[in-house]
Structure 1
Amino acid sequence: MFKFSWIGSETHFVDLPDTLQFKNIVIGRFGGNTSAGQYKNEDGCLVWVNEEQNWEFVMILDAHNSAESAELVVETILNEEHNLTSIFNKPLSVAFQELDHYILHIFQDPLFLARCREVQGETACLIVLRKDKYIWWFSVGDCILHMFHPELAEMQQYQLNQRNFYEWIGNVNTFELDVPCYSTGRRELRKGLNQLFMTTDGLTECPHTSFDNPRDILQVFTHSQSSHDAVGQLLKEIEAKGVRDSTTIVSWAVEIDEYATEPSNK
């Protein structure tokens, strides 16, 4: 199993776009430009891939007021690796349902909440599991998940999750509320090539670009020879346009052989 984790406080990649790849998973990181006033990186990500069980588990984080909250969430998920992967490896009919409950259990645990109160700052967090022909996500805050597929693009459908502002994990914590606020969802992948794309908001809020429109991100992938080239091009573009905020991207392509759901009269 491939395992990767990183926090911006470890290596900030300010003024230094970085793209790495494992099999079909591409990870892109850019800490922003010092010329725009940037000097730190509070993003983070975690990637696990199990080719034998046919799943990828990815988490990206966008913290502020220090990277401590992102560090805490990554550490917590790493400590849950055995329990989480045991769920991932269960049959589809139960895996996603159990995952819903277990992620909530992690973030509502009294010891975790107590540790959150001690950190400086808070983080947005987007968690994705792709298994077989389905994708599951759990979103706190404003990170972004797109799914690019020709049939969906014809319908102008690209984004899977809804960005939600004023949601965090950390010193200010959505899981301390009387009703914890987050969003979650599941989606069937379509037959053919599905490009999954996760990003923090440095990309979409870069000045003098239009990457807040997912069609423009898709165009970069369409005109690139590979996912690695596309992610690298996106990072070079925001570097050239003087972005200050850090950007973390994880993207991968999934080829599905099975037919997806169609209308009965097609």
Structure 2
Amino acid sequence: MKDSWAGSDHKYLDETAVKTIGPITAGLFGGSSESGQTKNEDGFFVMTGDDWEFAVILDGHKSAESTTLVMKEFDKHDDPIRTILCKQPSEAIKQLQEFLSAFFMNPDFLSSCRRVQGETACLIAARKEKYLFWFSIGDCVLHLFHPELAALGEYQQNHRSFYEWVGQVNTFDLSVPCFSSGVKELRKGTSHILLATDGLIECPDLPYVKPEAVFAEFRQRTHEDGVLHLMTEASRAKILDNCTILSWKARVEQEGSMPSDLIK
């Protein structure tokens, strides 16, 4: 299953929307025109398989051209991504990292980036069986909720890195490309994975800078209703920035790693 969207397609100004793509729910709010918003520069690209999900969230600057370029480029490469993620986790994660590095450093792609107006943050997250992988350029966020991790205060997985983009200004055009990536072993049970652009977390009238406040909105609601509630709260607060999230839950049956003194 595959879907994509860019703010240039539909702005969602003063409008909330929820889209379901297999197990993934997308939440969309374009910002408040009353607060001065006139455009939507966010976007996403999503693919799903039997035991994997691949999600890209984009937060453009100056225009949505860079967002659209990256989204369309991923759409053109859906077959190799699917092939990689259908492999065993040990191969899939390694090859996905290599693929994404080559993807962003492709000379033709870099040439196209120089011709667009503006640039975009880009966060990619992929789950394969019990492993969560991410490749992060810029300041979008990846949150993970599991009771065992929450008990230790662990939610955010990636590091928000400012002054990193893809597009007209491009950190992959530097002599040393700048990005961050990581892999997390998911705990046994249900993990909730959520990607968000900064519109969700930077509104001073909402508590969502704290990831525990984000996940609290799902406690007494269905998954889809939780996503819709987050977008409704953003609309109620009349936030200026575009707000986009991708959210899904994954079930893991295997035990996670434990310290040796707790192994029975």
TM-score (norm 1): 0.97
Q: Does 1:204 align with 2:201?
A: yes
**Equivalent position to 2:251, from 242, 249, 255:** 255
Q: Which residue of 2 aligns with 1:43?
A: 42
Secondary structure of 1:142's aligned partner? coil
Q: Partner amino acid for 2:145? A: F
Once residues 175 and 56 of structure 1 are traced to their aligned partners in structure 2, the CA distance between those partners, rounded to angstroms, is: 25
Q: Which residue of 1 aligns with 2:80?
A: 83
Secondary structure of 1:222's aligned partner? coil
RMSD between aligned residues: 0.9
Bigger Cα displacement from structure 2, 90-99 vs 145-154: 90-99
Answer yes or no: is the 8 Å Cα contact 2:47–2:55 preserved in 1.
Answer: yes
Answer yes or no: is the 8 Å Cα contact 1:47–1:59 preserved in 2.
Answer: yes
Bigger Cα displacement from structure 2, 17-26 vs 66-75: 17-26
Q: Which residue of 2 aligns with 1:122?
A: 119
Q: Does 1:160 align with 2:157?
A: yes
**Equivalent position to 2:138, from 126, 141, 151:** 141
Structure 1 residue runs of 4 or more that deviate by more than 4 Å after TM superposition: none
Residues 67-91 of structure 1 deviation map (CA, whole Å, 9 limit, x = unaligned) = 0001111111111111121111111
Q: Which residue of 2 aligns with 1:73?
A: 70
Q: Which residue of 1 aligns with 2:15?
A: 16
Q: Partner amino acid for 2:15? A: L
Secondary structure of 2:217's aligned partner? helix
Secondary structure of 1:26's aligned partner? strand
Once residues 7 and 244 of structure 2 are traced to their aligned partners in structure 1, the CA distance between those partners, rounded to angstroms, is: 9
Once residues 43 and 92 of structure 2 are traced to their aligned partners in structure 1, the CA distance between those partners, rounded to angstroms, is: 25
Residues 230-251 of structure 1 deviation map (CA, whole Å, 9 limit, x = unaligned) = 1111111111111010011110
Q: Does 1:227 align with 2:190?
A: no
Once residues 6 and 19 of structure 2 are traced to their aligned partners in structure 1, the CA distance between those partners, rounded to angstroms, is: 15
TM-score (norm 2): 0.97
Residue 223 (structure 1) shift: 2.8
Once residues 112 and 179 of structure 1 are traced to their aligned partners in structure 2, the CA distance between those partners, rounded to angstroms, is: 17
Q: Does 1:238 align with 2:234?
A: yes
Answer yes or no: is the 8 Å Cα contact 1:49–1:55 preserved in 2.
Answer: yes
Q: Partner amino acid for 2:88? A: P
Q: Which residue of 2 aligns with 1:60?
A: 57
Answer yes or no: is the 8 Å Cα contact 1:207–1:241 preserved in 2.
Answer: no
Residue 218 (structure 1) shift: 1.4
Answer yes or no: is the 8 Å Cα contact 2:59–2:120 preserved in 1.
Answer: yes
Once residues 216 and 49 of structure 2 are traced to their aligned partners in structure 1, the CA distance between those partners, rounded to angstroms, is: 29
Secondary structure of 1:162's aligned partner? coil
Once residues 68 and 198 of structure 1 are traced to their aligned partners in structure 2, the CA distance between those partners, rounded to angstroms, is: 21
Residue 23 (structure 1) shift: 3.8
Answer yes or no: is the 8 Å Cα contact 2:192–2:248 preserved in 1.
Answer: yes
Residue 199 (structure 1) shift: 0.5
Residue 132 (structure 1) shift: 0.5
Q: Partner amino acid for 1:19? A: V
Answer yes or no: is the 8 Å Cα contact 1:49–1:56 preserved in 2.
Answer: yes
Give the fraction of aligned pairs with identical amino acids, expressed as a percent. Answer: 44
Ranges in structure 1 where 5+ consecutive residues have no aligned partner: none
Residue 61 (structure 1) shift: 0.1
Answer yes or no: is the 8 Å Cα contact 2:2–2:21 preserved in 1.
Answer: no
Sort the Cα spacing of 1:177 and 1:215 in 2 relative to 1 into closer, same or farther, 3 A.
same
Q: Which residue of 2 aligns with 1:179?
A: 176
Residue 207 (structure 1) shift: 2.6
Once residues 130 and 155 of structure 2 are traced to their aligned partners in structure 1, the CA distance between those partners, rounded to angstroms, is: 17
Answer yes or no: is the 8 Å Cα contact 2:15–2:30 preserved in 1.
Answer: yes
Residue 22 (structure 1) shift: 3.4
Secondary structure of 1:265's aligned partner? helix
Bigger Cα displacement from structure 2, 168-177 vs 81-90: 81-90
